[in-house]
């Protein structure tokens, strides 16, 4: 898998965002960090991410709503998406998959394993 993957990463918790960003950049990912769904829509319009990494629980616009809005941008209509959430009951995971997610990463995540987990999901997609 080519190592220069650009990730549009939406997470409202700054500490979690910083940890994930560092973990992924150390592994060669390019991260476009966003603190909200609105922020993501702004950045997404001006970029061509290879992957959307979305927190599910966010104020104002949650992950699935953010995804629905991102999908309206023609260049993101089929970009792979992974949700990150603590809500990982089978019914919830099925719901994320129904929104088109290639996978779900459980929070709290292991920063050391995050890049590999994402690569594995992208390979399987």
Over residues 78-124, the pLDDT tens digits come to 999 999 999 899 999 999 999 999 999 999 999 999 999 999 999 98
Q: Which CATH number fits domain 6-124: 3.40.50.720, 3.40.1160.10, 3.40.50.300, 3.40.50.2300?
A: 3.40.50.2300
Which pLDDT does position 4 carry in this prediction? 86
The length of the chain in residues reads 125
pTM for the full predicted model? 0.95
Which pLDDT does position 1 carry in this prediction? 45
DSSP-assigned letters across all residues of 80-124: -EEEEES---HHHHHHHHHTT-SEEEESSP-HHHHHHHHHHHHHH
Which pLDDT does position 125 carry in this prediction? 79
The full set of domain ranges for the chain reads 6-124
SS3 of residue 82 by DSSP? strand
Distance CA(42)–CA(50), nearest Å, equals 16
> Residues 49, 29: contact at Cβ < 8 Å?
no
């Amino acid at each position: 898998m080519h190592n220069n993957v650009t990730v549009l990463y939406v997470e409202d918790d700054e500490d979690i965002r910083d940890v994930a960003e560092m973990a992924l950049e150390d592994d060669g990912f390019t991260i476009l960090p966003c603190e909200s769904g609105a922020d993501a829509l702004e950045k997404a319009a001006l970029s061509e991410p290879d992957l959307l990494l979305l927190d599910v629980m966010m104020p104002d616009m949650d992950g699935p709503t953010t995804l629905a809005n991102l999908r309206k941008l023609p260049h993101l209509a089929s970009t792979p998406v992974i949700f990150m959430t603590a809500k990982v009951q089978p019914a919830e995971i099925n719901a994320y998959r129904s929104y088109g997610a290639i996978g779900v990463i459980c929070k709290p995540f292991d920063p050391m394993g995050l890049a590999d987990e994402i690569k594995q999901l992208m390979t399987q997609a």
